[in-house]
Structure 1
Amino acid sequence: MGHSKAFHPTYDNEGIKELQSNPALAIETIMDTYGDEIKRLVFAYMKNSADTDDVTQEVFVTIYQKLNTFQGNSSLRSWIYSIAINKCKDHLRSWQSRNKRLKEKLISSSQSMKTVELTPEEMTLQKDNSSELFQKVMDLPIKYREVIILFYFKDLSTKEIAKVLTMNEATVRTRLNRGRSKLKECLSSEKGGVSHG
């Protein structure tokens, strides 16, 4: 193990070929490099740790299966993000997931008097970002939430986001602007913008 070559996170063509020639080492390397990052991205879609664990596992299985199809037309990180986001959306679309989320909502509303303990993912996210602001981002509709998270918290350019989400760059910019406006509305209304009575 001590002699395995360390790959630079940008992965040039040589690095990619070497990863593709040894999928077992590749998945270990990719998990070491991107594991936490992908888990946090998945959590931003799933919003609970059980689904996050399941989907993250699926993401890495898919990366392992599809690694040889990676052509290098985008960065490895963007390619991995595309897989992760597609898996999240598949999961959210599935009937089982919707049904489970509805049950969770009913259970959590009946337990709302209890103290809520943060999951490790939530704690990490809250350490990484201003927790109040991040919570507001998490409350946005998914089409705004995903572009804001990818742009501000994952440092992807609008061009990269367009590639990852398979949409045009103008749509990404529009959603970013609308998402920002919605965030401003939430934050200003919380600061007592409107008073009743």
Structure 2
Amino acid sequence: MGISEELDSAHHRRQLLEKLMDQYGESLTRLAMTYVKDQYIAEDIIQETFLKVYKNLDRFEGRSSYQTYLYRIVMNGCYDYLRSWHHRKVQITEKFTLTHEEGNTSEKHLLDKDKNLELAQNVLKLSIKLREVIILFYYQDFTVDEIAKTLDISQNTVKTRLFRARKKLENQLKEGGWEW
């Protein structure tokens, strides 16, 4: 490959990476947050993810979508962090930020915010296997098929985990006094 072809390839990779960062950066950070529960660590994992993607873009075979590819890398990065010595030695505090419209201070909004926070806290209490399917399905709008490909499990396993996660959440919320 000549110098001009290498420059074109590098330019193309850079443009694609910028597009992927713009398109998926926020949702990937939110996903990482649900695993590691720390904004700075989540951002580090996302930065590492995009470095890996940039270095390996030429090897991407297109057997999955870029979205599935990115989510898998982020989840692996989160798993690696959660298994790390650093994580086991440092107590992580649960943080879950909710966005809301500024200026809306109605009683309904405050009740909705409290319910959303309580629901989010209960989702974070689930085991990782149950939490990840709930987050991908409800918060990231993945289909069962996309979740199966991302997690490298069968669609039936995804459905089973979704069922178990919903049941567990329902029980947790009933114990907390939620009315259905």
Shorter-chain TM band:
0.7 to 0.9
Corresponding residue for 2:78?
88
1:92-129 deviation line (CA, Å, top 9, x unaligned)? 1112221123xx46xx9xxxxxxxxx6xxx33xx2278
Letter in 2 for 1:48: D
Q: Name the % identity.
A: 38
User: Is the 1:55–1:87 Cα contact (8 Å) retained in structure 2?
Assistant: yes
Task: Verify: 1:144 aligned to 2:117, yes or no.
Answer: no
Alpha-carbon distance in structure 2 between the residues aligned to 1:173 and 1:20: 41
Summarize the Cα distance change of 1:48–1:161 in structure 2 as closer, same or farther, 3 Å threshold: same
Instruction: Give the ranges of 4+ consecutive aligned residues of structure 1 lying more than 4 Å apart after TM superposition.
Output: 18-21
**Can you give the 5+ residue segments of structure 1 that lack an aligned partner in the other structure?**
1-17, 109-117
Corresponding residue for 2:119?
133
Corresponding residue for 1:111?
none
Letter in 1 for 2:119: L
Corresponding residue for 2:4?
none
Deviation at 1:20, TM superposition (A): 8.0
CA RMSD of aligned residues (A): 2.4
1:44-87 deviation line (CA, Å, top 9, x unaligned)? 11111121121111111111112122222222111111111111
User: Is the 1:19–1:26 Cα contact (8 Å) retained in structure 2?
Assistant: no
Letter in 1 for 2:171: E
Q: 1:72 is paired with a residue of what secondary structure?
A: coil
Task: Verify: 1:187 aligned to 2:173, yes or no.
Answer: yes
Corresponding residue for 2:24?
34
Alpha-carbon distance in structure 2 between the residues aligned to 1:19 and 1:36: 26
Instruction: Write the mapping of 1:63-142 to structure 2, written as runs, cut at 5 A.
Output: 63-101=53-91, 104=92, 122-123=96-97, 126-127=98-99, 130-142=116-128
Corresponding residue for 1:176?
162
Deviation at 1:19, TM superposition (A): 8.6
Task: Verify: 1:160 aligned to 2:146, yes or no.
Answer: yes
TM-score by length of structure 1 reads: 0.72
Letter in 1 for 2:125: D
